[in-house]
Amino acid sequence: MFAMAFMAFISAVNAQNFTVYFGVDMSQYLDPISPAGIRVAGDFVSRGASVNGTALQYWSPGDTACTLTNLGNYVWGIGIRFPDSVLGQTLTFKFVNGSSWGMNEGAATLSGCGVDDGFGGYNRQYLLEGTAYVRYCWNLCTRCDGSDPVSAASVKSNYVTLNKIYPNPFSGSTRIDLNVVQSGGLKVRVYNILGQPVTTLFDGFAGAGSLSLNWDGSTQTGEPAREGAYLIRVEMGQNATTHRILLNR
């Protein structure tokens, strides 16, 4: 029974995911918006991406699941869910006006945030670091006003937010700075990339305010953890966030 329960727990950990909310501002786009709406296409298959439970196709603006929602004021948006196993990986994508190529982003202005797509344009690149809101201007790396496109990150939890993990990567010890918005039971655990628990950094009641925790790279039994990527999981109530960290030896 214990073995079955343990495997179920590991499966549950592995099943955790995060959502990135992509937005694109079309206010500076002069051509009419296609009746098919604004779409997004990218290497979604290799990143396990889905929208409302539907797996996204590989570089396919014809995939209706890739259709953004008109949020008003010329802004279109979509929430794409990814498994925690792709944390730290880079997503390559671009926005498309309609369901076919030819009306897609492609300006050289994307060279600063993307890679040459081999067809005279550029594909965007985005580092998957957890739940975030990201808003761009069509054919620009930034928002239309020139500001940073990332407006908020780590928004899964309404009760606790991550301020900083520093240093990351680390070799000796790293500090996890949290802001507890609402007091309550808090768990902060370290898992390896297979979803197996490594150690617990905090498990108890946390009052509202700042909270700093340290991880010295050791397991629950005090042994040095192996070099590699780990996941810091912060749980409070029904809310949870997962953050990637790299241990160097």
**Residue 43 in contact with residue 92, Cβ under 8 Å?**
yes
Q: Does the pLDDT at position 8 exceed 50?
A: no
Vertex 157: Cα angle to 235 and 144 (nearest 5): 145
For the chain, which residues make up each domain, given as ranges? 15-153, 160-247
| 196-242 per-position pLDDT tens digit | 899 999 998 888 889 999 999 999 999 999 999 888 888 886 667 77
CA dist., res. 91 & res. 42, Å (int): 7
- Residue 99's identity, in one-letter code, is S
CA dist., res. 11 & res. 9, Å (int): 5
DSSP structure class, residue 104: B
For residue 156, the model assigns a pLDDT of 40
Q: Does the pLDDT at position 152 exceed 70?
A: no
pLDDT band for position 7 (50/70/90)?
A: very low
Are both 15-153 and 160-247 of the same fold?
A: yes
Q: How many CB atoms lie within 10 A of CB 199?
A: 19
| 68-83 per-position pLDDT tens digit | 999 998 999 999 999 9
CB environment 218-240: b (16+ within 10 A), e (fewer): eeeeeeebeeeebbbbbbbeeee
CA dist., res. 246 & res. 168, Å (int): 6
CA dist., res. 141 & res. 10, Å (int): 38
Q: What is the CATH number of domain 15-153?
A: 2.60.40.10
How long, in residues, is the chain? 249
83-92, 97-106, 146-155, 238-247 — most confident range: 97-106
Cα-Cα-Cα-Cα torsion 208, 210, 216, 222, nearest 10 degrees, comes to -20
Question: Distances in Å between the alpha carbon of 150 and those of 23, 125, 146, 198, 238?
Answer: 10, 13, 12, 31, 25
pLDDT band for position 150 (50/70/90)?
A: low
Q: Is 160-247 assigned to CATH 2.60.40.4070?
A: yes
Mean pLDDT rounded to a whole number for the chain: 85
Vertex 189: Cα angle to 184 and 193 (nearest 5): 145
- Residue 55's identity, in one-letter code, is A
For residue 188, the model assigns a pLDDT of 93
Question: Distances in Å between the alpha carbon of 129 and those of 19, 30, 156, 214, 241?
Answer: 10, 33, 13, 20, 11
Interacting residues of 217 by C-beta distance below 8 A, sequence separation 6+: 170, 171, 172, 173, 174, 224, 225, 247
pLDDT band for position 132 (50/70/90)?
A: confident
Q: What mean pLDDT comes out for the span 114-126? A: 89
